[in-house]
């Protein structure tokens, strides 16, 4: 019951989603320890007046322990390197590492490489759950010995606490290190750490039957499984902590809203599974959400009907096919489904404009200009947002049930990057579980749901061309598709996004990279045209990112303006200097 050492953080996370330097100062005195006077309320508990504070390690009677904190594992000069050279055999890391698609292996590789090069035992504990923001912390606790994983925690779970245990032999560390000559030579000249001596041992003197450790193969989730589980756990955390009664989703019958619906179903499935496995806290949360103290969620579809409302908002520009797809998917996931028509509201709004101005805007199909065409599309989209919030507030009231619903958005990361959304339409919601996921990955996730949940309705959704259905039908058929509207494909958008954010490429740099990447499919002049169009549309629409619905962070090229991708939202959309440089390069080529 004593505090042995307060070890401050040495390397702070200050990129991407993190701003630790705004609030904290790193410890900048290597191998230095000071006496820290404890607050009186702590003194009364431990009986200590002061404790060591600084960059030190703990020396027990049989081994030596050092610690890293979160970001320090990812730093080029991680403390475990010199700690290991100085004889530390056990490293701990209490981490707050968030989930990103395809990232788990990086974390595992870092831990295993730390003990592979230097020998030792590495114990990583990671936060689990939603932090009340856009991030989801995905667990993945692990224990590694001499480059091998010997214990693996779950990555996605509704359990708040998970404990990993391994019994290991310190002699394995010593014999492993003895074989690494380069390590031992480096150790002979390392600057020693201050050691806080502790009067106990972690092992017994008669440990003669210690089993040899058996390495395990880390089981990584596929990206489709990650999409199915990560956002589902995030949604459950938001729902239970916000104390709302469920979710409301405008379900259009397209890939994005259907993927969001499937994630909602996956959340219900995870809740039922957790209750079946004896998680009393999840059961208590579920009972509070449905307002029934005797309720036990056993069937995901039945639970889904209680807490998940979907709504198809038809207009004169909608097709019967998308209506049927939405209805069939709602039946298969079990949601409470509403069909409504927005034409009366659209005509009322446009009628007010016509009455005031004496002018009646027309779609381009009927001879209107592009400005009129876009304005009429935006009215439809924005009315859907207004109706979504109205029904989210009052649907449960009409069913005689208490509480309100959180509105779910369903625009993907590529649409956000391109700005292919109406400001304050159905992309405006309370939270968005797919706002950090690419269209390409969402298509793969839809296929995963067909195979694993047997949602056969998704087959027709997969095969249909993505469309907003905001323009009039021509001979009863769609005249509008997303990729034609955008002037680029979703696959191209993913490439643009990664080059813009991860590779830090502006127009000219992106052009230079793409003439090599696309040399088999595009001429330099075609590449120039594509890059210019993307940056023109990106800069025109960047202002939309300032009001983007908070979304689950899943990609490192997210355009989220709140924390991750801080950029101007007023650009010179002509990019005159950059585009001239591109034109000169095209002419030279």
Residues 208-260: tens digit of each pLDDT: 777 778 999 988 999 999 999 999 999 999 999 999 999 999 999 999 999 99
Mean pLDDT across 14-39: 95
C-alpha to C-alpha distance for 589 and 581, rounded to whole angstroms: 12
Number of domains in the chain: 3
In a domain, 9, yes or no: no
162's CB contacts (< 8 A; 6+ apart) are 128, 139, 141, 153, 154
Do residues 491 and 568 share a domain? yes
The larger pLDDT score, comparing residue 558 to residue 473, is at 558
Q: Pick the range with the lowest mean pLDDT from 148-157, 219-228, 324-333, 466-475.
A: 466-475
Residue 404 has what pLDDT?
96
As a whole number, mean pLDDT of residues 269-281 equals 97
Q: Given a cut of 90, is residue 205 above it in pLDDT?
A: no
12 domain residue, yes or no: no
pLDDT tens profile 124-177: 999 999 888 999 999 999 999 999 999 999 999 999 899 999 999 999 999 999
349 located within any domain: no
113 in the same domain as 29: yes
**Predicted confidence band at 206 (pLDDT cuts at 50, 70, 90)?**
confident
List 128's β-bridge partners, or say none: 138
pLDDT at 544 over 70: yes
Looking at the fold, whether 464 and 504 belong to one and the same domain comes out as: no
Reported confidence tier of residue 438, pLDDT bands at 50, 70, 90: very high
For residue 356, is it within any domain?
A: no
Burial 262-299 (b: 16+ CB within 10 A, else e): bbbbbbbbbbbebbeeebeebbebbbebbeeeebebee
Say whether both 542 and 397 belong to one domain: no
- Domain identity same for 475 and 574: no
Residues 145 and 157 in one domain: yes
* Angle, CA of 345, 348 and 353, to the nearest 5°: 130
Q: Which of 459, 485, 511 is the last residue of a domain?
A: 485
Residue 301 has a CB neighbour count (10 Å cut-off) of 16
* Final residue before a domain boundary, out of 485, 500, 528: 485
Residue 457 and residue 399 share a domain: yes
**Are residues 572 and 467 part of one domain?**
no
CA 457 to chain centre: 27
Q: Does the structure show a pLDDT above 80 at 477? A: no
Residue 462 lies in a domain: yes
Q: Does the residue 209 lie in any domain?
A: no
Q: How confident is the model at residue 204 (pLDDT cuts 50, 70, 90)?
A: confident
pLDDT at 130: 87
pLDDT category at 478 given cuts 50, 70, 90 is low
Order of all β-strands in the sheet with 121-126: 148-152, 142-145, 121-126, 90-95, 64-68, 57-59, 195-197
Give me the pLDDT at residue 479, please. Answer: 63
- Residue range 188-204: mean pLDDT, rounded: 93
Q: Regarding predicted confidence, which is higher, 391 or 318?
A: 391
pTM > 0.85: yes or no:
yes
Whether residue 396 is found in the same domain as residue 465: yes
Among 432, 453, 485, the domain-final residue is 485
- The domain spanning residue 461 has which CATH number? 3.40.50.620
**In this predicted structure, what is the pLDDT of residue 563?**
85
578, part of any domain: yes
Q: Report the chain's C-alpha Rg in angstroms.
A: 28
Say if residue 183 is in the same domain as residue 242: no
State which residues form the domain around 529.
Answer: 487-588
45 with 184, same domain: the answer is yes
Give 34's pLDDT tier (boundaries 50, 70, 90).
very high
264 assigned to some structural domain? yes
Q: What is the CATH number of the domain that holds 186?
A: 3.60.110.10
Provide the sign of the torsion angle of the four alpha carbons 187, 190, 193, 199, taken in this order. Answer: positive
DSSP 113-166: HHHHHH--EEEEEE-EEE-SSS-EEE---EEEETTEEEEE--SS-S-S------
Asked if residue 446 and residue 412 are part of one domain, the reply reads yes
> What pLDDT, in 10s, does the model give residues 337-394?
999 999 999 999 999 999 999 999 999 889 999 999 999 999 999 999 999 999 999 9
State what percent of residues in the chain have pLDDT above 90.
Answer: 87
Token pair 């001879």 is found at 367
Give the model's confidence band at 476: pLDDT under 50 very low, under 70 low, under 90 confident, else very high: low
Q: What is the pLDDT at residue 226?
A: 97
Q: Mean pLDDT, to the nearest integer, of 552-568?
A: 91
How sure is the predictor about 76, in pLDDT bands with cuts at 50, 70 and 90? very high
């Amino acid at each position: 019951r004593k505090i042995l050492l307060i070890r401050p953080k040495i390397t702070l996370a200050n990129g991407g989603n993190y701003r630790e330097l705004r609030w904290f100062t790193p410890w900048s005195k290597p191998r230095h320890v000071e006496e820290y006077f404890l607050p009186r309320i702590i003194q009364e508990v431990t009986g200590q007046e002061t404790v060591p504070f600084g960059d030190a390690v703990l020396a027990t009677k049989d081994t030596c322990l050092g610690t890293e904190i979160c970001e320090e594992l990812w730093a080029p000069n991680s403390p475990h390197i010199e700690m290991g050279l100085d004889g530390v055999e056990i490293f701990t890391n209490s981490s707050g590492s968030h989930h990103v698609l395809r990232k788990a292996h990086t974390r595992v590789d870092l831990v295993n490489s730390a003990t592979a090069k230097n020998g030792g035992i590495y114990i990583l504990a990671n936060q689990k759950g939603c932090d009340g923001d856009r991030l989801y912390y995905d667990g993945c606790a692990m224990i590694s010995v001499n480059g091998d994983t010997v214990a693996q925690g779950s990555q996605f779970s509704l359990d708040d606490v998970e404990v990993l245990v391994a019994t290991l032999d310190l002699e394995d560390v010593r014999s492993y290190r003895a074989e690494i000559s380069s390590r031992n030579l480096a150790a002979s000249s390392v600057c020693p750490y201050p050691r806080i001596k502790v009067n106990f041992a972690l092992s017994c003197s008669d440990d003669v039957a210690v089993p040899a450790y058996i390495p395990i193969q880390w089981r990584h989730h596929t990206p489709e499984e990650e999409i199915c589980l990560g956002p589902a756990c995030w949604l459950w955390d938001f729902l239970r902590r916000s104390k709302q009664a469920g979710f409301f989703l405008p379900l259009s019958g397209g890939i994005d809203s259907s993927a969001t619906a499937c994630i909602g179903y996956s959340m219900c499935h995870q809740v039922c599974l957790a209750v079946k496995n004896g998680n009393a806290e999840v059961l208590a949360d579920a009972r509070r959400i449905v307002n029934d103290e005797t309720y036990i969620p056993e069937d995901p579809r039945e639970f889904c009907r209680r807490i998940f409302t979907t709504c198809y908002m038809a207009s004169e520009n909608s097709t019967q096919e998308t209506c049927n797809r939405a209805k069939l998917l709602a039946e298969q996931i079990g949601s409470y489904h509403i069909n409504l028509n927005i034409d009366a509201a659209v005509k009322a709004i446009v009628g007010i404009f016509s009455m005031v101005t004496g002018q009646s805007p027309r779609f381009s199909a009927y001879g209107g200009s592009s400005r009129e065409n876009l304005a009429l599309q935006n009215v439809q989209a924005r009315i859907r947002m207004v109706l979504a919030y109205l029904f989210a507030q009052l649907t449960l009231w009409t069913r005689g049930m208490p509480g309100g619903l959180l509105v779910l958005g369903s625009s993907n990361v590529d649409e956000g990057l391109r700005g292919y959304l109406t400001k304050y339409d159905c992309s405006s919601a309370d939270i968005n579980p797919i706002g950090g996921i690419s269209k390409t990955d969402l298509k793969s996730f839809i296929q995963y749901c067909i195979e694993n949940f047997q949602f056969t309705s998704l087959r027709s959704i997969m095969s249909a061309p993505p469309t907003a259905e905001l323009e009039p039908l021509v001979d009863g058929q769609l005249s509008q598709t997303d990729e034609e509207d955008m002037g680029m494909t979703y696959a191209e958008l993913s490439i643009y996004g990664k080059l813009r954010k991860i590779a830090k490429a502006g127009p000219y740099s992106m052009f230079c990279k793409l003439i090599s990447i696309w040399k088999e499919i595009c001429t330099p002049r075609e590449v120039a045209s594509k890059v210019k169009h993307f940056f023109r549309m990106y800069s025109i629409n960047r202002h939309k990112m300032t009001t983007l619905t908070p979304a689950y962070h899943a990609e490192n090229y997210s355009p989220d303006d709140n924390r991750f991708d801080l950029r101007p939202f007023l650009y010179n959309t002509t990019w005159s200097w950059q585009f001239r440089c591109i034109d000169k390069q095209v002419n030279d080529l």
